């Protein structure tokens, strides 16, 4: 069974230029296992995964890819086992459907000498992967919180829609709360919208019925922001408040580009992080570039001035 260990180096904190190509006469196979496009963010992630694979196949003829999408953890485990058994993969890029069920199967892959890149959702046992690529969850909350603190007045009222109860969500909300501490902003309510537009619509309807004075909403995900905006519109209260979501959904970014006062800014948590993970893994196979460690993609604020560079009209997200 052919195997090549990717070069290990320090945690990545620099621009990676392709080093001198090595072993051009050899071919390598990279397995990519990701969740199905069950909602907006995952739709965007699937789009960027496929696009990056097409780019890399055109650039590096010595690379082959196996892409599998799964609607549950069990199928993802089966997909990965099949990649190892029938496709003889040299590297695995995986965004775990769930952390716990994927930990042992991915660890088994690693124990066979296969390079492992984990994306976004970490495994339940740290240190299995060679490379970890993710967005900056504390930064996601901090950047949003700083915008609220800078653009609201003492005594202004906000409501917050959280995601699914997870460590990831806790990191975002804790950072947001710390960023507005001392600003005098009143957090009227904070409920889980589960990164789902229908759940967010229902939560926002409840907020609107309970509170007559809301100045702004942090809907910590653009799928939730869509549901929030619909609830506000149905209640006839669009002139009263603005909304900040996150992750860069194209419909939201287009409205920011157009200067919609209800959507002044957005915060990045890019589904394109899967492309970063695939491309770094490929770079480690075809060059002498060190790619191990942690690659955290910092969250940025998207404004009308820079929104065009974050707009991907062909993406489903």
243 SS3 class: strand
Judged against a pLDDT cut of 70, whether residue 12 lies above it is answered with no
Which residues does residue 64 pair with via DSSP β-bridges, in sequence order?
29
Judged against a pLDDT cut of 60, whether residue 24 lies above it is answered with no
Judged against a pLDDT cut of 70, whether residue 139 lies above it is answered with yes
pLDDT at 42: 86
- Percent of the chain residues past pLDDT 70, beyond the cut: 92
pLDDT at 16: 40
Instruction: Compare 220 and 20 and report the one with higher pLDDT.
Output: 220
Question: 265: Cβ–Cβ under 8 A, 6 or more apart, which residues?
Answer: 147, 244, 256, 301, 302, 303
CA separation, residue 95 to residues 36, 56, 103, 207 (Å): 11, 19, 11, 34
Cα angle 127-40-165, degrees, rounded to a multiple of 5? 55
pLDDT at 15: 37
Cα angle 266-268-271, degrees, rounded to a multiple of 5? 130
Asked if domains 28-135+271-298 and 137-267 share a fold, the reply is yes
Burial status of residue 126 (CB atoms within 10 A of its CB: 0-12, 13-18, 19 or more): exposed
pLDDT at 311: 92
For residues 257 and 304, what is the distance between their CA atoms, to the nearest angstrom?
Answer: 5
Instruction: Compare 22 and 19 and report the one with higher pLDDT.
Output: 22
Judged against a pLDDT cut of 80, whether residue 211 lies above it is answered with yes
pLDDT at 169: 87
Domain topology for 137-267: Rossmann fold (3.40.50)
Rounded average pLDDT over 216-232: 96
* Residue 46: Cβ within 10 Å count: 22
Mean pLDDT, the chain, rounded, equals: 90
Judged against a pLDDT cut of 90, whether residue 300 lies above it is answered with yes
pLDDT band at 154 (very low <50, low <70, confident <90, very high): very high
250 SS3 class: helix
Query: Which of 7-21, 22-36, 43-57, 252-266 has the least mean pLDDT?
Result: 7-21
Quote the tokens at residue 153.
Answer: 């007045």
pTM as predicted: 0.76
Domain topology for 28-135+271-298: Rossmann fold (3.40.50)
Judged against a pLDDT cut of 60, whether residue 197 lies above it is answered with yes
Rounded average pLDDT over 64-79: 96
pLDDT band at 164 (very low <50, low <70, confident <90, very high): confident
For residues 282 and 280, what is the distance between their CA atoms, to the nearest angstrom?
Answer: 5
Judged against a pLDDT cut of 80, whether residue 17 lies above it is answered with no
pLDDT at 93: 98
* Domains in the chain: boundaries: 28-135+271-298, 137-267
For residues 170 and 255, what is the distance between their CA atoms, to the nearest angstrom?
Answer: 28
- Percent of the chain residues past pLDDT 90, beyond the cut: 78
Question: 315: Cβ–Cβ under 8 A, 6 or more apart, which residues?
Answer: 43, 44, 47, 48, 250, 271
Judged against a pLDDT cut of 80, whether residue 3 lies above it is answered with no
pLDDT at 194: 87
pLDDT at 40: 77
């Amino acid at each position: 069974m052919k195997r090549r260990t990717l070069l290990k180096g320090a945690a990545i904190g620099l621009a990676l230029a392709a080093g001198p190509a090595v072993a051009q006469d050899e071919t390598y196979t990279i397995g990519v296992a990701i969740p199905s496009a069950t909602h907006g963010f995952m739709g965007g992630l699937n789009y960027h995964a496929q696009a990056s694979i097409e780019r890399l196949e055109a650039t590096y003829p010595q690379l082959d890819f196996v892409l599998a999408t799964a609607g549950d953890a069990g199928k993802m485990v089966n997909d990965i086992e099949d990649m190892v058994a029938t496709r003889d993969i040299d590297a695995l890029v995986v965004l775990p459907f769930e952390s716990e069920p994927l930990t042992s199967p991915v660890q088994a892959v690693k124990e066979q000498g296969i390079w492992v890149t984990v994306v976004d959702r970490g495994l339940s046992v740290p240190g299995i992967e060679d490379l970890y690529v993710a967005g900056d969850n504390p930064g996601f909350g901090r950047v949003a919180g700083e915008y609220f603190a800078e653009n609201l007045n003492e005594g202004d009222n906000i409501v917050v829609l959280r995601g699914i109860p997870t460590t990831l969500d806790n990191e975002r909300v804790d950072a947001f709360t710390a960023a507005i501490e001392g600003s005098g902003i009143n957090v009227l309510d904070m409920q889980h919208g589960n990164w789902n537009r229908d759940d967010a619509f229902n939560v926002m309807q409840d907020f609107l019925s309970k509170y007559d004075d809301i100045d702004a909403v942090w809907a910590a995900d653009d799928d939730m922001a869509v549901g929030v905006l619909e609830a506000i519109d149905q209640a006839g209260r669009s002139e009263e408040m603005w909304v900040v979501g996150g992750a860069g959904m194209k419909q939201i970014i287009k409205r920011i580009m157009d200067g919609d006062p209800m959507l002044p800014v957005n915060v990045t948590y890019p589904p394109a992080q899967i492309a970063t993970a695939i491309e770094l893994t490929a770079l480690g196979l075809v060059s002498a570039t060190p790619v191990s460690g942690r690659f955290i993609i910092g969250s940025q604020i998207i404004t009308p001035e820079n929104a065009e560079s974050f707009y991907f009209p062909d993406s489903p997200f």
